Chains A and B, each alone.
Chain A
Amino acid sequence: MSLWRRYVPSVLDNLIWFILVGVVIFFATQTDKFLTPINLRNVLVAASVLGILVVGQTFVLITGNFDLSSESTLGLAALIGLFLIVPPGSPTWGAGTELSPFISVAIILIMGAAIGWVIGALITYGKMNNFIVTLAMLIILRGAMLRFTNGQAVSSIDSRPAEIFNWLGHESAFSLPWLGKAPISVLVMLGVFLVAYVVLKYRPFGRELYAIGGNRAAALASGIDPDKRIRQVYMISGFLAALAGWMLAGRISSVQSDLGEGYIFNVMAAAVIGGISLLGGRGSIVGALGGVLLLSIIDRGLNLMQVSVFWIQSIQGFVILLAMFIDAQKVRFRGAVATSGALIEEPELPSDATPGTSAGNPTSTASGMARGDVA
């Protein structure tokens, strides 16, 4: 009984990984092309842009907000990043400034964070609804891209600066046994997840985000500045969207005005499948990584099985529903597990464990209590 109670919650919390293993086994039995180094590398590369967007979104979701705009920030950052490194006199497009790719990258990352700050300021200072603000920003930034490209595709030029710019999306680092070369983009994505994990779990900042999402008014009354934190999470989301844009531009070496369009649905799906609550205050970044991998694996696996592209989207939709169904059962089940503890009736503790209940021992309580010395 106690064993059961002890392990069930952690199994429930990590359900996504069990699902993931099931899906991998399924595809491995369906096609022998699935468990190959090249395919697994492709899954991870495909997951890297999505993953970085999901990390940014997770920060925002934990505070109980949305960021619908990140796919447009991604697109605009990719476009401007390429624009700035084009030499003067290029026939149809580009800023003609021929900036160093390092400066160009710095500019788009700062721009991403700045867009996030503007969104956060509108929500906190302007007291506007986060859904509407980010929806408007989604449309505005997409419109800006259309204006800059005049609706045409922009290809990367063949130059040394462009090569450097494409490093993040294109290059590989060291070699691993069996798997082969490790793409930079995958390493960066994993690094971003690692940093996010540490920040959310082990920095006061991260815990404050959970507090804000759990109960914003109580967080305020606990000495947290929710508005400041909300501006900060939008800056993080914008920054990471720009990073993802840089990565994607480097991978495909060209940018169209619709780059990144529709990403937001997968971003939300991956976060929610991974257990991030849309109401805020709940969910871990590890789960979100699981959600990202699940979506990428399903996409890749269905392609390998040569399922008609016309079906793939529907199947993905069903998988999302299925994952959410399991999650809903989990919440109910978790309630039952908690109930068996102290939810309905308090267990009787031995009387010496409850000082102060009777004429008790005020002295020990006074000395032990609340000096709050944490050192």
Chain B
Amino acid sequence: MATLAEVCAMDARTTADDHASDLAIEMREIVKRFPGVLALDHVDFSVRPHEIHALVGKNGAGKSTLMHILTGIYPADSGLIRVRGKHIDGMTTARSREAGIALVAQHARFVPALSIAENLSTGALPTSGSGFVDWKQLNESAAERLGQFGLDIDVRRRMEAVSTAERQMIEIARALFADASVIILDEPTAPLPKHEVQLLFSFIRRQRERGAAFIYISHYLEEVFALTDRVTVLRNGRNACVFETAELSQASLVRLISGTEVERYRRPPRQALGPPVLRIANLTRPGAFEDVDLTLHEGEVIGLTGLEGSGNGALARGLFGLEPMGDGDVTLDGVPYRAIRPATALARGIAYLPRDRHGLGIIGIASVRDNICVSVLDRLRNAFGFLSARKMNDLTGRFIQTLGIKTPSQSQPVEFLSGGNQQKVVVAKLVATEPRVLLLDEPTQGVDVQAKVEILRIIDELTTRGVAVAIVSDELNELIDVCDRILVFYRGRIVREFRKPDPRMTSEEILNAIEGGTERADVAVA
């Protein structure tokens, strides 16, 4: 394996081949300083026309800052930006747009209550002679324009009824027919279910064939390999190395991103299971899941996987009381259990880490301390019933230390932390409640590689103290690495169970079951 210095030397060779005038984007020696922090330290970055170029790095490596400079949101302190060979002095948002650079954010910016056609022509609705909106022309031109990009969608549908992947494709198309030649995609797949990802990818590839260049920012390294032509790695605002994606292995890319040897985190399977904690029998919620039978033991980690809407996520949310739990027999430590609302679940020792971190996990404007303490306020009182600042500080300080939460202070608003650290704050909040059962819904989503490993390690450490964990996820490799058992949901039912050390517990086999491959009957279920 080549060392970091060697591969960076390789990179110098590849970029030297490019003639400046042939590049879609060329950024040289970009420096950006924030008070007290050197965010970008002489970073080079270039994109060829007709390529999909991945920009990867940990949270806080400088990806966003670099893209903000390219789109003119911040000025660079020094450095050079050329777009198609033309030097652009003093990049502003307007100049960036003029030069054909467009950013497609994770959550596309549309007016949900208006139709697709209206959204595509905001500000310039065609009118008939008498000044009224000409709906026929509006819809026809919108359909035609989307058609050019291979999108066959009923443009009269309201934007809110359109799937997230379609929305992103529409946004990309909108940027393209506004003459954008370089499109920045910021974590486009994070909100997408798996099957829509493929749809989006083939759309992006088609647009590349037609001449567009893409900058693809993602934490999902599998996607980087599946989609992109070249990859630029940023680390601590430096070390901009460029590779042909095909020349890299996933392991070496992870190493470049983290700067240290990060191994995949593999949790040894539990040898002896503890006593059962949560027993679920014949639990049914019509339209969500049916006849769920499942026993979770002390110290056990199980994975619940399946297609979007197959019932695994609904089961977790139901058990936590965010959604109706359904009917059936559920006991927790032998006592009948019924979730009415999250407060009752937490009181009984069931904690839930939500998939939607910003919507349900963190209170962005509140401090790290307030977020961590919010579920256990009653336990942080002094003898007079008032909150004890000392107890709150102690609890927060302990979690900041043990979970390695990077924050300048306990009173830092959580919205200013990186994604991985936000997630650790949520984990700290849950762990503070001393749960018996932890339900984790996509715990590593939108979290960088290193934080991912740290979070998985935290989960493991909890199980050594008898906590039972259920992980809802479609990151199969992660599930295989940490779970003792993986249960596959299909159309609301558990159709298959994989138990370590089953040699068939591979991502191919599990994926097959997820897609509805096998019936439950052919597997021994304990």
Contact = CB atoms under 8 A, between A and B. Distances in A.
A342 B341 CA distance: 35
Contact of A225 (B343, B359, B401, B462): B343
B406 A349 contact: yes
A374 B399 contact: no
A215 interface: yes
Contacts of B465: 366, 371
A218 interface: yes
Nearest to A220: B342
Contacts of B347: 223
A214 B387 contact: no
Interface in A323-375: 336, 338-349, 353-358, 360, 362, 365-366, 368-372, 374
Contacts of B313: none
Contact of B401 (A221, A368, A371): A368
Interface residues of B, number: 80
B162 interface: no
Given A338-B412, A366-B461, A224 B34 contact: no
A281 interface: yes
Interface string B328-346: 0000000000000111011
Contacts of B253: none
Contact of B431 (A198, A204, A211, A372): A372
A292 to B, nearest CB: 24
Contacts of A369: 398-399, 402-403, 431, 458, 461
Contacts of B10: none
Given A344-B60, A356-B457, A366-B464, A222 B342 contact: yes
Contacts of A368: 398, 401-402
Contacts of A365: 402, 457-458, 461
A211 B366 contact: yes
A362 B39 CA distance: 32
Interface in B346-369: 346-347, 352, 354, 359-366
B326 interface: no
Given A1-B36, A366-B464, A372-B376, A281 B412 contact: no
Interface stretch (B169-177, B269-277, B413-421, B479-487): B413-421
B142 to A, nearest CB: 34
Interface stretch (B116-124, B133-141, B378-386): B378-386
Contacts of A128: none
Nearest to B388: A202
A331 to B, nearest CB: 11
B131 interface: no
Interface in A198-233: 198, 201-204, 207-208, 210-211, 214-215, 217-225
In this complex, the interface size class of chain A, counting residues with CB under 8 Å from chain B, is 35 or more
A282 interface: yes
B65 A203 contact: no
B433 interface: yes
Given A342-B412, A362-B457, A366-B464, A214 B365 contact: yes
Nearest to A365: B402
Contacts of A343: 34, 416
B64 to A, nearest CB: 8
A371 B64 CA distance: 37
A367 to B, nearest CB: 9
B370 A345 contact: no
Contacts of B391: 374
A372 B433 contact: yes
B402 A355 contact: yes
Given A223-B343, A346-B60, A355-B404, A339 B366 contact: no
B322 interface: yes
B35 A340 contact: yes
Nearest to B343: A223
Contacts of B59: 346
B190 interface: no
Given A341-B408, A345-B37, A372-B431, A214 B363 contact: yes
Contacts of A345: 34, 37-39, 60, 62, 65, 236-237
A2 to B, nearest CB: 9
19 contacts: A1-B36, A203-B385, A204-B380, A207-B374, A210-B370, A211-B366, A215-B366, A217-B359, A218-B361, A221-B342, A222-B429, A281-B366, A282-B365, A336-B35, A342-B406, A345-B39, A370-B461, A374-B379, A374-B432
Interface of A: 1, 5, 198, 201-204, 207-208, 210-211, 214-215, 217-225, 281-282, 336, 338-349, 353-358, 360, 362, 365-366, 368-372, 374
Given A344-B64, A357-B454, A370-B434, 8 more contacts: A203-B385, A223-B343, A281-B366, A336-B35, A343-B416, A365-B461, A369-B399, A370-B461
Interface of B: 34-39, 59-60, 62, 64-65, 236-237, 260-261, 320, 322, 341-343, 345-347, 352, 354, 359-366, 370, 373-381, 385-387, 391, 394-395, 398-399, 401-404, 406-409, 412-413, 416-418, 421, 428-429, 431-434, 450, 454, 457-458, 460-462, 464-465
